Amino acid sequence: MIIVLHREIVIENRSLGSDIYRLVLKGAVAATARPGQFVHLQVGTTADPLLRRPFSIAGIDRPKGEITLYYRVAGRGTAQLTRVRPAETLSVIGPVGRGFTVPAAGELLLVAGGIGLFPLLALLEAVDRSAVKVKALWGGANRQFMEDVGRETLFQTGVDYAVATMDGSMGHPGVVTDLLKKVLAEKSAHGLAEATACGQGADAASAGGGSGVLADRPGGRTAFTVAACGPRGMLQAVAESCRQAGVPLEVSLEERMACGVGACLGCVCLVRTADGMLVRRRVCKDGPVFDGREVVWDETD
Amino acid sequence: MKPIDLTTQLAGLTLKNPVITASGTYGFGEEYAAFYDPSRLGAITVKGITPLPRRGNPPPRVVETPAGMLNAVGLENPGLEEFLTTCLPRLEKLKTPVIVNISGFSLDDYALMAAAMPEDSCIVAVEVNISCPNIKQGGLAFGTDPRSAEEVLRVTRKHTKLPLIAKLTPNVTDIVTLAKAVANGGADIISLINTLLGMRIDIKTRKPILGNIMGGLSGPAVLPVAVRMVYQVYKAVRLPIIGMGGISTWQDAIEFMLAGASAVSVGTANFVNPLAPVEIIDGLAGYCRQAGFTAVREIVGLAHQ
Ligand SMILES: Cc1cc2nc3c(=O)[nH]c(=O)nc-3n(C[C@H](O)[C@H](O)[C@H](O)COP(=O)(O)OP(=O)(O)OC[C@H]3O[C@@H](n4cnc5c(N)ncnc54)[C@H](O)[C@@H]3O)c2cc1C
Ligand SMILES: Cc1cc2nc3c(=O)[nH]c(=O)nc-3n(C[C@H](O)[C@H](O)[C@H](O)COP(=O)(O)O)c2cc1C
Ligand code: FES
């Protein structure tokens, strides 16, 4: 029996600006957490607001036993969370869900929309950058947001990155999927097929650990893969671009949750399996990371 | 110190304690086994089963409300056959009495499912969810019309020897009329309440939040409604009652038992505090000890004296 309910001690809970907070928790979750998993956190102790809130694990420090979360103040629950002080404890269910595949070789492209950056930070941290070439593409509203959030996260990691802002105040004016299209076009010009076939086989890759959704698919650990998180519309566009380019993709989905452990069927998405069947999956337990090629983005189709 | 007797009698069914988990909030029993051994529970009730698999409603399916939540899962379930071949063998391993919740859209549906439930497995009772729309009657819920409700129970009764629990919907004007109807139909036990119909609208998009527009309200917000209905039904009908609706603590459970419930079900509280059911079991014993009762069943209905 794995016990997944913990009380974690708050080490830090601090504003980064732009309504984004950094929350560091010390406890048992760090020992087993993997990139792409999340925690289901109780923000208060009263019946209102009632439900737990899901937050991606953005950083895992096993030696210190700490995880880092970043949250945007979005409503009542997150507003209440800002008032939690260091040394207080929070009730946490986690780590929950199926995370990203951590490649052990080849190239990894991270595509993030806004706060969709957070789960990708954990993946970035987990991947061995001496063996895997990593690049990050990140889109957001404006320079203020990108600097407030990026200063202590992405921009510090030393990873090769490009940004896009909706108002054009930083990086490419427009959406992050423009950047993705550009990268994919360059890839295909330089022979993506060749790169994907360059023989970093599943054996080498499995050393990277993790049970991500691409792990059990032939070709899933090919040399060039994309991992994405962000608003649904953005993810749908990323999936379309990757499909056209024939690039394997993992996406981290968001859905309203109640239990967070797979019991209530509150958080489902629709998936088309390899044999063409339409099936329900629970975002909390079967995800939140899914094979981008399988997700059915529009149920009315 | 003599241990408190927590056993509960529900018609012919004896449970080792009165705490059950509510249908739809506990999957098929496996998820919460990560938190505690489910065999500590009096029983678990599994997600509502229909004859054929159902994909359920599009998301969003849940939304928070003041001290509660709405759900519109739409009875997503693997269907009868898959339940019997895949879920039941796994449930067997939990070593816990199982209550199967069945839902149908016609009388034949209920008959079929009742007949299919083995009488020599971990299944100790069949809970008949009559909140579903009756297709023949133009979609009006079986559970809001006393005659249809009675008929569902009568038909189900004919097809199984297992104890039958009628699960009532609170979305009616007079719960007592419905309780009498299912008693006439042959129910052994009454469970109440199912969720209260509600909805929420997103003021930014100006559209209903739930994919299904409307959903069922549960959680602490519904507790007083549920306590009232348990109280009314206890007074009017001689059948044992499983009380539910917003139970999160042992104090809540005691309140339901004082109103007349012989057992209680914990639903939404599992989502907030996965340990709620076992904490309630411990709390019931503590209350009895403090108040000088030797058996928890002594408190059932005391509020009526
Ligand atoms: C797997 C997963 C990982 C997430 N990771 C992060 C993260 O790392 N950082 C971050 O800032 N946010 C993250 N979110 C979104 C975050 O859970 C919501 O912003 C938060 O629950 C809002 O709570 P609130 O009380 O402030 O808002 P309210 O609007 O008051 O919340 C009301 C209800 O709606 C739910 N809800 C509201 N918005 C969302 C949403 N976007 N997704 C899911 N449920 C929602 C709440 O959980 C709550 O039940 C994640 C969501 C999921 C599903
Ligand atoms: C997500 C969810 C799914 C449910 N599914 C079912 C179901 O399939 N059949 C049923 O009879 N009741 C179902 N219910 C109702 C519960 O069993 C219970 O009657 C109700 O939620 C009130 O109890 P609570 O406030 O403790 O949750 C569901 C409730 C929730 C919250
Ligand atoms: S939130 Fe309950 S199944 Fe995912």
Same domain, A146 and A76: no
Same domain, A166 and A185: yes
What is the domain partition of chain B in residue ranges?
8-304
Asked if A41 and B60 count as a contact pair (C-beta separation under 8 A), the reply is no
The tokens describing A294, both together, are: 């399988």
- CATH 3.20.20.70, domain B8-304, yes or no: yes
Same domain, A239 and A129: yes
Q: Is A261 within the bounds of a domain?
A: no
Q: Is A91 within the bounds of a domain?
A: yes
Q: Is A164 within the bounds of a domain?
A: yes
Same domain, A203 and A138: yes
Residues flanking ligand 1, CB < 6 Å: A 38, 49, 51, 53-56, 69-72, 74-78, 115, 118, 254-257, 288; B 64
**Residues B41-62 pLDDT 10s:** 999 999 999 999 999 999 999 9
CATH number at residue A249: 3.40.50.80
- Reduce the DSSP state of residue A80 to 3 states and report it: helix
Same domain, A143 and A91: no
Tell me whether residues A264 and B66 touch, CB distance under 8 A: no
Same domain, A79 and A152: no
SS (H, E, C) chain B: CCCCECCEEECCEEECCCEEECCCCCCCCCHHHHCCCHHHCCEEECCCECCCCECCCCCCCEEEECCEEEECCCCCECCHHHHHHHHHHHHHHCCCCEEEEEECCCHHHHHHHHHHCCCCCCEEEEEEECCCEECCCCCEEHHHCHHHHHHHHHHHHHCCCCCEEEECCCCCCCHHHHHHHHHHHCCCEEEECCCEEEECEECCCCEECCCCCEEEEECHHHHHHHHHHHHHHHHHCCCCEEECCCCCCHHHHHHHHHHCCCEEEECCHHHHCCCHHHHHHHHHHHHHHHHCCCEHHHHCCHHHC
The tokens describing B56, both together, are: 């359920």
User: If pLDDT is split at 50, 70 and 90, which confidence band does A203 have?
Assistant: very low
Q: How many domains would you assign to chain A?
A: 2
Average pLDDT over residues A251-276: 95
Q: Is A174 within the bounds of a domain?
A: yes
How many residues comprise chain A? 301
Mean pLDDT across chain A, nearest whole number? 89
Same domain, A179 and A39: no
Same domain, A82 and A185: no
Q: What is the pLDDT of residue A2?
A: 61
Identify the CA nearest to B234 among candidates B168, B301, B143. B301
Same domain, A193 and A250: yes
CB-CB neighbours of A278 under 10 Å: 12
- Residue that is last in its domain, among A96, A128, A153: A96
Is B157 near ligand 2, meaning CB less than 6 Å away? no
- Peptide bond before residue A2 is cis, with ω within 30 degrees of 0: no
Size of interface A-B (CB pairs under 8 A): 102
Strand ranges across the sheet with B62-65: B62-65, B68-71, B214-218, B196-199
- Reduce the DSSP state of residue A268 to 3 states and report it: strand
**Closest residue in B to A265 (Cα–Cα):** B73
Which amino acid is it at B37? Answer: D
Calculate how close chain B gets to A155, using CA atoms only, in Å.
33
- Global confidence as pTM: 0.93
Average pLDDT over residues B235-246: 97
User: If pLDDT is split at 50, 70 and 90, which confidence band does B134 have?
Assistant: low
- Residue that is last in its domain, among A59, A74, A96: A96
- Residue that is last in its domain, among A213, A229, A254: A254
Q: What is the pLDDT of residue A4?
A: 87
Residue-number span of the structural domain to which A119 is assigned: 102-254
CATH number at residue A52: 2.40.30.10
Average pLDDT over residues A38-66: 96
Is A282 near ligand 3, meaning CB less than 6 Å away? yes
Tell me whether residues A261 and B58 touch, CB distance under 8 A: no
DSSP per residue, A171-228: SEES-HHHHHHHHHHHHHHT-HHHHHTS---HHHHHTT----TTTTSTTTT-SEEEEE
Is B270 near ligand 2, meaning CB less than 6 Å away? no
Calculate how close chain A gets to B152, using CA atoms only, in Å.
26
Same domain, A110 and A78: no
Same domain, A121 and A222: yes
**Residues A164-176 pLDDT 10s:** 999 999 999 999 9
Same domain, A66 and A179: no
Q: Is A209 within the bounds of a domain?
A: yes
Element (H, E) at A30: helix A29-32
- ipTM summary value: 0.94
**Residues A143-198 pLDDT 10s:** 999 999 999 999 999 999 999 999 999 999 999 999 999 999 888 877 654 444 43
Residue B86 backbone zone (phi > 0: left; psi -120 to 50: alpha; other: beta): alpha
